[in-house]
Chain A
Amino acid sequence: MPIPPPSTPAAGSVTCRIGARGVSRSFGSVRANIDVSLTVRQASVHAIVGENGAGKSTLMRMLYGLDIPDTGAILVDDDEVTFSGPRDAIARGIGLVQQELAIIPELTLLENLVLGAEPRAGLVWNRKQALLSATELATTVGVEIDWNLSAAHASIALQQQVEILRLLYRGANVLILDEPTAVLAPAQAAELLRLLLSLRDAGRTVIFISHKLDEVIEIADDITILRSGRTVSSFRRGEIDRAGLTELIIGDRAPDERDDADRPAIGEAVLIVDGLSASDDRGIPRLSEVGFRLHRGEIVGVAAVAGNGQEELAEALLGVRAASAGSIRLDGTEIRRATVRERRRLGVRYVSADRKREGLGVDLSLVDNAIASSGLSQLGRAGWLSRAAVGARTRAVLERAAVRFGTAKDPASSLSGGNQQRVVIGRETIDEPRVLIASQPTRGVDVRGIGYIHELLRQARDDGAAILLFSEELDELHALADRIVVLCQGRVAGTLPGDAPRTRVGSLMLGESATTTKEEGR
């Protein structure tokens, strides 16, 4: 199959190749998009920026027909359209590259490229013809690809290029990319950005989401900023600088009231982390030489844009991820090579960001969820559980966090998200933890639930726990943290007091040099 000719009207005749007019979309009580408007010009690179949860992905999904607006309209070539699915979007020349690539590892890159639209030769596919088209396509956009390579052996960057080419092969001339550079090393990212520019120069339209403001300023012709589900504003190239963008992305909301009256004084250092490095599942280094101290009765917040090493840090501290270098000392004991079980026995507790798989056993009963811990054998004797001890522990956990439930034999999946999280926090704080690693403890929890979970964390702090709080919500960090450690690209970008202005935290998160702001940790 040859490359289909571009199906666009002549350039210039259309002002809005793709866009949105007054689009709103809610999921339950969460308003993901509120009256969002977007105009993407033909043959431009358009960047969408905003905090986590600002509504970027929801908007992209609607542009691609994966979701439908509640009100407002999606625009294609200045016309209002109603997509009933991605098929309709593809028919209008729109393609989406998601963060998780749709590459089949068992196939070669060539097979991945043509899969579903193979050139045929009788009953079998025409490999020669496919290779010809593939090579031609790669040449036109200026990349070199070994098409016979098995996809499993291809780097993420290469897989991503194949996925982009696949969209072109299918005739797409509007490409939507959801944080394409988040998974790439800097050199690979630069190559991708060059590819995007050459696509634009060839008359194609590119929309991309990014948290990296440098690359946005470098290549975007237009920038649209979303905040809390609304369009803040749009700018042409050169109309706004980095500082201006940061301010618009973060906004200037006042921090929540902090209620720290008559809390116990912060005590001795409990956890001392030094030079800690770790890699993600693919072996890409995500955490390098992170160090900080955590004291008794203190909450230290960790702020970072998603994918900047906070997950790896939390997992390395718990012990489910091996650290490649550095030291973790808990009350003076080196625990970097200790198992999860050993660390937990020393008083480490964990609230996972992945509640449904790591925080709870959703198919297990509330009893099972309440008692599952390394100290399980204490609820009985000689390897057998005591009914009375199990019942008492279950009641204690559920009451501590005021969980609303039917019977304790119900599976955890029968509870609402907020109540599930209460079970987790109740369990993890029941036996006076030394260190509590709380990762996104209020994700997916409604406003009332959030306040309650914050109270539980303060309570644990006042009871003497040293708490490390990972959160994507700056408001949450402001409300709880005594200090905020900001991570950027796996390094500590700086440490700020808990009541530092949002813009200070935000600009460190977004990669501003920290040399002028670094404060000494206690």
Chain B
Amino acid sequence: MNTSTQHPDSTHHPEPVLLAAFLDGRLSEQQRLEVEAHVDCCPICCDAMSRLPLDPLSARLRDISDDDVDDNSDWSIVTDPGLPRSASPTQNAAPVLPAELHDHPRYRVLEPLGRGGMGVVYKAQHRMMDRIVALKVIDSRLIDNPQMIDRFRNEVKAAALLNHANIVRAYDAEQAGSLHFLVMEYVDGISLAELIQRKGPLPAEQALGVVRKVAHGLQHAYQHGMVHRDIKPQNIMVTRTGKVRILDFGLARFAREREHSAATTDADPDSILQRTAESLTLVGSILGTPDYIAPEQVMDAHQADTRADIYSLGCTGYFLLTGRPPFPDGTAVQKLMAHRDQTPIPVTELRADVSPEITSLIERMMARDPDHRFQTPLEVATAIHDLNTASTSSDAAVKSEAAGDRTDALRLDSASSARPPAPSAAPTPSATRTPSSTVDAVDGPDVFSHIARRQDAVSGRRVQRAATKAVRWTKPIGVTVLTLTMLLVVGLTVHESQTEPEPAPDSTPRNTQTASESLTESPMLPTEVPIRVLMPGEWMNLIPQIDPSRDTVAGVWQNVNGELSVEAAVSARLVLPVAVPAEYDFDIEFTRHDGVHSIALVFAVGDHQATYDIDAWGEHVAGIQNIGGQSIQPSRPNSTMVPSQQLVNGQRYSAEVRVRRDHVQAWLNGQLLTTYHGDGSDLSLIPEWRLPGFTDSLAIGAYESSTTFHRIRVRAVQR
């Protein structure tokens, strides 16, 4: 080596500040070369540098997604010859290529890659762009009506906005005949589930490296207001070079909601219990067993925020370290209950060579109370980084252990002795069985739908629609509104009668899942599941359902003591978490405390929205607007405008709209004020009340006036 002459006296060492500048690249090139020459042959300065703190740029490097380049952990197992390379081992013959994909104008299918929970994946070539992509053909059970097609497209669109090294790029949602498929980045790798199956538990450092990369990907999504909702080893790919990619952003949510809407199809409480259990089965078959689901998702899927993903990532880390999920035993229902009520066996008890720090990191990710977890994925990544730093600078024992671990990993024979043998609970796909039928075929005419929700309650940065269309009643008979707080059936669901019943879940073929287990026994439901069933025609009070942090469009709204209040602000408005049928009544009671402007009820008719405004435009008019583009401004009046409707501040009013197929009535204090006649197709919202992303929602508004809403309720109209 070049022992340079700039510092011939080996006792003359650069000052720590100079060493720090050297290490962080802050010296001029000439100075840097001088120090470099010294460092090249000085162990003392190397030792000194090992104790230097990171400068801001170096610290930032740790935060950026870092796997565009080989991280050099050993991932050779990923392409081990002789092993099936698909994302899930195909137990059946190769899938038959659907006719729609023969001679597709844009894609030339090269080979099947495997079957995932949601359908078959093919490797394909984009004919024009010569790009290799993966096509995921969505199981036709998941997309069987126009609403679901819309939802699928919207989810893919939202996911396509994500662009991060740790997230599989989604390019487009495509259709060929009746076939729907997702076009996404082709990743030459295997899932973490498969990796552990082949290799057994990972060395701690490697496992944490994977968790950190996934956390970076989740952070990116979080910053875009997106939650994955189904983080698990099956949904995370690793490549031969150690790149880590999260699969199926958007799809998990889509599938879960699809499943529960398909599964809850009866009004009778006993049947609902059974159908809820049934939905577990369905979810189990489509998305795998609930080994990685967060407790709050068990209780209310719509409330899940980024911290639910952190929980699931914690479970995934647990799996990478121990080779088994945190709660490996029991039925799907028992597992769900375990996530809600139990603490798993600490990692360190299953794996003696894992430090208590790592064990507690995983435990903190998996705290049952979301508030006790890391609050953002970035916090997880930073904590892992800090663990590494701590082991680098302070603890020689940890260092040598880590080094040993790595060497061990490099040898990579399954007999490496430092690691515990893979528990038998490693993900062995069990044969899929049809669950014992506890429920008769769905014979009612009703199909549940559920509500459009924003998923960005935490970040609050982007309006994003989870469910893009609320299905409407086509024949409003047997109307039932119910609330379940069990598993995925959440909040307010409104069901719809359809001429064709959903196929009974049991009658659907199940041969398309290979990597997931199914529930094999009659599910056991806990007795404390609160279920409320409203009978047809019954009012539903919406105020308890409202979460201002989630439902606010503009203004400052608060839910206090069963009343909703809003501060004076321009166009303050809030969407109501309810999906409505074609005909319904929407009723509020309110007190305007100050201000001179209008209180509005935003209602929906078909695909159109309009408002019933009271005391509007500073001219004390009331009525429905816009009709044919005309407002109720006296300068641009329409047929529903009623003059002299000044609200007295401090006085309590009731207002109601009654929406019917061919007309809408506006009521004030029990008096019919005015009626719009029409099918709604000429209705529109004035810009002040527009609800971006919620084009079929109900909402309330208060223009520059602090107001209390004492009551907000809806009821489906019974014919």
Partners in one complex: no
Which residues of chain A have a CB within 8 Å of any CB of chain B?
none
Which residues of chain B have a CB within 8 Å of any CB of chain A?
none
